[in-house]
């Protein structure tokens, strides 16, 4: 164990660091923080790295303009260190068509993290603006980073990937708090809890015993664990009579988007979907819903009569297919298709289309370009190479499915956005997430995606069913338990019953209001401490 004197000396050395040493400390602390995310889930490391963030802001007091620029710069380096190892896997997408996109890989691996690092920079600056000289400055940091993370989730279409709140999603008992306060409330608690040891360097001369903050944080962490364990024990997994089969083809990207491989793709899907999964299995005849992943075909499905006929022949009466597909907009027969939707179809045993959902939240640079027309004139193209970019859908809505609860469809990274998952007045019975994580290879990305989708299930109290091209496909109950899973890089089918939904959670009913109340209460505490210090 490190002694108190050595701990204080370490904290003071970080506070007094300046120049490149200060930047290096922030960069390393941010990089270590990435270990808190899936698949490592080494969240105790944050008890080391978040105190470093507090001390860096302490040290910013020596800078100009009340230390705001120095705090922001430290936050930028912390964020860059955090996002580069956390999002390195995005670079794999640029190697799928290496002759076209490989030259952009360094810009993606460093450019996107550099942009995202602006948000921790803002969070550090906001914290510095309300900074105190006692343990309540831990709350100031939690306020600043919660506000900046919330902005990251919404600004310029939003990208809340690996928000700090996901650090408390393992073990599962800790994640249950998301049913009350959602991701942003979890983000506030993560920062406040893990930054609390920073107060141990304060000493008794600053008014209060320095151990109070970390002890209170540990008690809060224990209370979260107890609440979660009780909630899990009171809500065991319950299953409906709806039988699901998820088909995970594990297709490589150069095949998945190659029209010349049309016959090969269809044959693989049909054979795999009807594969017996055990001695008692009769293939697809055992299930009510067959699910294929996002953008399953290298063609417009409903314009290929032979493919629709093969699907109709595959499906027995009473079974429907939910599948991803690129969808051409309505138009006269034979009209040239220049743009398309990324969609989900529900198809019955007669080959009829029962329902369609068009993806609302498109991926920047993957499915569209910011300032699309201008960038195309400069020669740029998004990864999917759809001229003009994909067309966004118009509204989020549940899909009607025969003999099953209504399903809320989410395509790819739509599952990472909290709060907009389920409309309050249109509650579905389950969430289906079709995705193609094959863009990112055998990396940490698919594990992070699964972690975030699972938290949506806990927030809403709804089961989550994921079908992924290369994995990780899974059936998740509304408390976040993984009922069945098909691991990354495997070809196969996953059979499971659909879990039963819970009653609407506090978060499902109130959204981000509880998190906002927590942040506002913390802000009141910090402001009162600042006023009391100035009055003393």
Peptide bond into 171 cis (omega under 30): yes
Residue 391 exposed, middle or buried by CB count within 10 Å (0-12, 13-18, 19+):
buried
- How far apart are the C-alpha atoms of 225 and 214, rounded to whole Å? 16
| CB 214, CB 54: distance < 8 Å | no
Q: Which two tokens stand for residue 242?
A: 């709806």
- How far apart are the C-alpha atoms of 15 and 62, rounded to whole Å? 10
- How far apart are the C-alpha atoms of 491 and 116, rounded to whole Å? 34
Closest CA to 266 of 303, 305, 300, 310: 310
Task: Give the pairing type, strands 492-499 and 239-248.
Answer: antiparallel
Residue 302 exposed, middle or buried by CB count within 10 Å (0-12, 13-18, 19+):
middle
Closest CA to 49 of 5, 88, 87, 85: 85
- How far apart are the C-alpha atoms of 337 and 331, rounded to whole Å? 9
Residue pointed to by tokens 């409903």: 302
| CB 76, CB 120: distance < 8 Å | yes
DSSP per-residue string spanning 134-148: STTHHHHHHHHHHHH
- How far apart are the C-alpha atoms of 520 and 185, rounded to whole Å? 11
Closest CA to 346 of 415, 401, 287, 427: 401
| CB 43, CB 167: distance < 8 Å | yes
- The H or E element that residue 450 is part of is helix 445-460
Gyration radius of the chain's alpha carbons:
25
Residue pointed to by tokens 């709806």: 242
- How far apart are the C-alpha atoms of 487 and 474, rounded to whole Å? 8
| CB 300, CB 325: distance < 8 Å | yes
Q: What amino acid positions are annotated as catalytic residues? A: 294, 359, 412
- How far apart are the C-alpha atoms of 460 and 504, rounded to whole Å? 7
Q: Which two tokens stand for residue 5?
A: 């004197």
Peptide bond into 500 cis (omega under 30): no
- How far apart are the C-alpha atoms of 283 and 277, rounded to whole Å? 7
């Amino acid at each position: 164990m490190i002694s108190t004197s050595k701990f204080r000396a370490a904290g003071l050395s970080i506070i007094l660091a300046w120049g490149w040493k200060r930047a290096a400390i922030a960069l390393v602390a941010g990089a270590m923080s990435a270990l808190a995310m899936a698949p490592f889930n080494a969240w105790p490391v944050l008890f080391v790295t978040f105190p470093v963030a507090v001390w860096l802001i302490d040290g910013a007091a020596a800078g100009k303009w009340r230390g705001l620029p120095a705090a922001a710069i430290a936050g930028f380096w912390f964020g860059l260190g955090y996002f580069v190892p956390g999002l390195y896997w995005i670079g794999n997408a640029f190697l799928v068509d290496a002759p076209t996109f490989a030259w952009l890989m360094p810009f993606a691996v460093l450019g996107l993290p550099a942009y995202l690092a602006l948000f921790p920079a803002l969070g550090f600056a906001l914290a510095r603006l309300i900074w105190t000289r006692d343990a309540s400055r831990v709350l100031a940091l939690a306020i600043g980073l919660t506000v900046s993370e919330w902005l990251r989730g919404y600004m310029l279409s939003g990208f809340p990937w690996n928000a700090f709140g996901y650090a408390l999603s393992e073990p599962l008992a800790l994640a249950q708090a998301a049913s009350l306060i959602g991701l942003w409330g979890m983000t506030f608690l993560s920062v406040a809890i893990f930054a609390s040891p920073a107060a141990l360097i304060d000493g008794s001369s600053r008014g209060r015993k320095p151990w109070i903050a970390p002890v209170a944080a540990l008690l809060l962490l224990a209370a979260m664990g107890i609440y979660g364990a009780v909630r899990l024990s009171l809500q065991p997994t319950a299953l409906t009579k709806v039988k699901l089969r998820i088909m995970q083809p594990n297709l490589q990207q150069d095949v998945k988007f190659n029209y010349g491989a049309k016959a090969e793709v269809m044959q693989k899907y049909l054979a795999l979907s009807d594969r017996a999964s055990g001695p008692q299995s009769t293939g697809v005849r055992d299930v009510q819903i067959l699910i294929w992943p996002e953008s399953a075909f290298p063609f417009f499905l409903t314009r290929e009569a032979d493919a629709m006929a093969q699907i109709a022949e595959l499906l027995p009466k009473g079974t429907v297919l939910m599948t991803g597909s690129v969808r051409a907009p309505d138009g006269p027969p034979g009209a040239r298709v220049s743009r398309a939707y990324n969609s989900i179809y529900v198809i019955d045993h007669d080959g009829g289309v029962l329902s369609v959902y068009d993806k609302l939240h498109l991926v920047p640079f993957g499915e569209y370009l910011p300032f699309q027309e201008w960038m195309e004139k400069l020669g740029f193209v998004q990864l999917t190479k759809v001229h003009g970019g994909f067309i966004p859908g118009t509204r989020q809505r549940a899909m009607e499915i025969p003999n099953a609860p209504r399903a809320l469809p989410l395509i790819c990274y739509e599952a990472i956005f909290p709060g907009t998952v389920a409309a309050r007045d249109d509650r579905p019975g389950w969430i289906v997430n079709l995705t193609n994580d094959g863009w990112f290879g055998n990396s940490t990305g698919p594990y992070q995606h699964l972690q975030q989708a699972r938290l949506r299930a806990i927030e809403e109290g709804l089961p989550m069913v994921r079908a992924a091209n290369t994995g990780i496909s899974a059936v998740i109950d509304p408390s976040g338990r993984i009922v069945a899973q098909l691991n990354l890089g495997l070809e196969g089918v996953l059979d499971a019953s659909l879990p039963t939904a819970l009653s609407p959670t506090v978060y499902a009913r109130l959204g981000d209001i509880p998190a906002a109340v927590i942040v506002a209460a913390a802000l009141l505490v910090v402001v009162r401490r600042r006023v009391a210090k100035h009055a003393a």
